[in-house]
Structure 1
């Protein structure tokens, strides 16, 4: 049976992850911490395990439970999130923590139906938390599981066009017992064996169920959709430097890209020529170069202007910890320094 083969493999080969209660500990009675499961699932959205692991541990050091996270200023949470991208996740993380801490007595709901009502928790995250934290029978389908199911069923269409078929296949195979371990087993299988490139079918515990392998097309799947040209936007940023290395920054609007985070002052970003932007304060500004960064929907090229500044004008403030800035702004500061 597919699920039993996978669970046997997971019991022997589960990854050791800081948010995970492994199969041996689980069998001995250890229970997952819903806070850690929730935090990891939010951080892992659109981000790799390698990137998340040290950041997850840093978050836990500062905010070891949901009450501590709820009590933290949003600006601190956004600063700790800097560099992870998709910053709406951090705002929703903080909002969700406040709901759980203030309205639910610090206790996470244990069903998909209730979890999905919380800020920032969509269908996938609700299913993952329900299965992994509470061992509820739930159909969990992330990027790794998408790929596994596409190969198991030999689906010769891009994943985005085959979502219903993928989910149906995943639902058919999800067991009533150990649903959390089963989901994590599929994730580990996709990450380490059924990889995007060069899947290692000889090590796959469910190879006999794989229609793509039987047809010899496992390396050709998943089918990639045609790439669309990514638009290029231009802008100007002003890097005001204090003698001690602190940078002149502004608080970005709550909504929009990098919402609520500290950022460099500058103009709008638009396709074509960079829009004109008045400097934030009178100074001897000079052009230091350009900073480039690729975001989800466009590639950004910023002209970097820099000057030595002694005092922050009204509405702006100094940021000494540059790690709290989004990556694109850190690139600009590096060019200006």
Structure 2
């Protein structure tokens, strides 16, 4: 049952959230310590990625790179392999850049203030606020999508949260609500409330919400209209043909350019457009590459933030290949793909055919 809504002071609202958090907070592995390094790793991984998906990556990452020095020294190819499947690979590159900066400019000691954390590559206002408040007890907010969603419903605020001025105003309001000694718990209460109660997809569980009595939208059908966001631009669709090329028991990979989408990562060779079997055979003939078998692997789709790849795959096993053709690729074994070479999840539909017949 939804309580009758009335005006309450922000201090009461913060207290209600903390009481709820104390009894209902999620048991997450990165909450077992106040170590700023492990909190940082978790926060970067959690950007654009579900909690359940992150847990396994988090454990494997810390087993191999347990501290700032290990991260600063890791080779990029190994780092990309550890990150494989999480996507948004610049997050991993910025982690390493920031670790190197901590080693050289902070003598290996993790910065302990919001202001210093903001200077590190890949750390914005939210992440700096999360680390500063949770690891160091600094009284700063950590405002992410959960907070925007809950706050706009709480206040029935119809302003477009994609506008910087609106975001700044909400951040200032949350900062004014921060309890003096429990900023980290308060910030995490917003996270858990957004994950379990005022959820991003679907109807919120207002009857279980600890701040429903203060919420102007609690129990109302219109609650799903909040937060107000300007519609995103329609994604650009790109058609591609993906080639799984096998020669003498090895697979041919190529590296993407150092800039742009999936920069610097390994991939299966591809070509723009969806080629028919006849078109593939003509291209192979022109390159003097003799195929033993050509199998169509079917269609797949991968969605990036602004682009969709609509793909058609072929597995081609070669009898003979001109040496000039081979020079454009790196030949690797199935085991090397599994342990060394990071292939983005965009190619996951075709990665599963490695080693199969």
Quote how far apart the aligned CAs of 1:42 are: 0.6
1:105 Cα deviation (Å)?
Answer: 2.6
Cα displacement string for residues 239-282 of structure 1 (whole angstroms, at most 9, x for unaligned residues): 112565x5321222222222222211234x5xx777x9977993
- What is the 5 A alignment of 1:144-293? 144-161=146-163, 162-196=166-200, 197-213=202-218, 217-223=222-228, 225-226=230-231, 228-242=233-247, 244=249, 246-267=250-271, 282-284=289-291, 286=294, 288=296, 289-293=298-302
Q: Distance in 1 between matches of 2:21 and 2:212?
A: 15
State whether structure 2 residue 345 is matched by structure 1 residue 327: yes
Number of the residue aligned with 1:294: 303
Instruction: Answer whether contact 1:291 1:328 (CA < 8 A) is retained.
Output: no
Could you tell me how far 1:57 is from its partner in structure 2?
A: 0.8
Quote the residue 1:25 is aligned against: none
Report Cα offsets for 1:141-166 as digits up to 9, x if no partner.
11111111111111124432442342
Query: Which residue of structure 1 lines up, in the alignment, with residue 108 of structure 2?
Result: 106
Q: CA deviation at 1:112?
A: 1.6
Q: Secondary structure at the match of 1:291?
A: strand
* 2:330 counterpart of 1:316: yes
Write the deviation string for residues 26-63 of structure 1: whole angstroms up to 9, x where unpaired.
xxxxx501110100011011111111111111111111
Contact 1:290-1:332 within 8 A present in 2 as well: no
TM-score normalised according to structure 2 size:
0.81
The CA distance in 2 between the partners of 1:148 and 1:309, in whole Å, is 57
1:86-135 superposed Cα distances (whole Å, 9 cap, x missing partner): 11111111211222234423221011211111111122211111111111
Query: Residues of 2 paired with 1:286 and 1:131: CA distance?
Result: 57
Q: CA RMSD in A?
A: 2.7
1:83 paired with 2:85, answer yes
Which residue in 2 is equivalent to 1:55?
Answer: 57
Query: Which is worse superposed, 100-109 or 218-227?
Result: 218-227
User: Cα gap change, 1:138/1:281 in structure 2, threshold over 3 Å: closer, same or farther?
Assistant: farther
Q: 1:38 and 1:282, CA in 2 relative to 1: closer, same or farther beyond 3 A? A: same
SS of residue in 2 equivalent to 1:233? strand
Partner SS for 2:217: helix
1:19 counterpart SS class: helix
With 134-143 and 277-286 compared, the bigger mean Cα shift is at 277-286
Distance 1:229 1:118 in 2: 33
User: In the alignment, which residue of structure 1 is the partner of 2:117?
Assistant: 115
CA distance in 2, matches of 1:217, 1:329: 40
Name the residue aligned to 1:303.
312
Q: Say whether the 8 Å CA contact 2:117–2:128 is kept in structure 1.
A: yes
TM-score normalised by length of structure 1: 0.86
Separation (CA, whole Å) in 2 of partners of 1:91 and 1:224: 30
Unaligned runs of 5+ in 2: 1-11
Shift of 1:286: 3.5
Structure 1: gaps (5+ residues):
22-30
